[in-house]
Amino acid sequence: MALDLLVIVISYLLGSVSFSVLYARLFKGIDIRNYGSGNAGATNTLRVLGKGPAILVLALDVLKGIAAVWLGTWVGGFGGWTAALCGIAAIIGHNWPLYFHFRGGKGIATTIGVMATLCFLPAFTAGVIAILSIFVTRFVSLGSLIFVALTPVFLLIMGFTPPVLWTSLIIAVFAFWRHRSNIVKISQGRENKIGSKAKEEKRVG
């Protein structure tokens, strides 16, 4: 039990490493959370810093989720509660990072890493539909929400274990909460499309 708790805490600390914030500070001397959407993630990195940094941030954020799940798997076995909770902890760390005053991202890249490791086929199926929606609408936020909403559906259809199913539902709640402003903007036709540039600094109060 103590070891399970330890790897969950380690997963949170791993998730708290915000690569978009670190990259922007190290190479541009800025706090990316003060630019664009104010979000510490790959999409805002693309908007503010360009494709190269965004791809790097995306890959590293995905790897955080993968590493957390495998850490939990090492302790508690594949598809068990420890692996699931480590994945959730990594996403919580990304969204509310200890090292950066609890101002993080929205956790989708890390979610991709977590769900692809816990349940590759359902996550892949949901991911294909999400990517198609992004291609058609150019709304990354909409694609992200479609991904987290459909993954539990495919898990139910394919009969995965309760820890994985509950993990996907909890993650979906996190994602919809973190994207609540995007949902409003989409409904009002004000949401930024992929490829749009950050025109001015966002003042964070």
Contacts of 10 (CB under 8 A, 6+ apart): 71
pLDDT over 90 (residue 200): no
pLDDT over 80 (residue 197): no
Q: Is the C-alpha dihedral spanning 187, 205, 29, 40 positive or negative?
A: negative
CA distance 181 to 107: 15
Q: Is 35 helix (H, G, I), strand (E, B) or coil?
A: strand
**195 φψ region: left (φ > 0), alpha (ψ -120 to 50), beta (else):** left
Q: Could you read off the pLDDT of 9-18 as tens digits, one per residue?
A: 999 999 999 9
Burial of 190 (0-12, 13-18, 19+ CB in 10 A): exposed
CA distance 109 to 155: 19
Structure-block tokens of residue 149: 């909403």
Q: Could you read off the pLDDT of 80-131 as tens digits, one per residue?
A: 999 999 999 999 999 999 999 999 999 999 999 999 999 999 999 999 999 9
Q: Smallest Cα–Cα separation from 119: which of 61, 159, 149?
A: 159
Q: Is 101 helix (H, G, I), strand (E, B) or coil?
A: coil
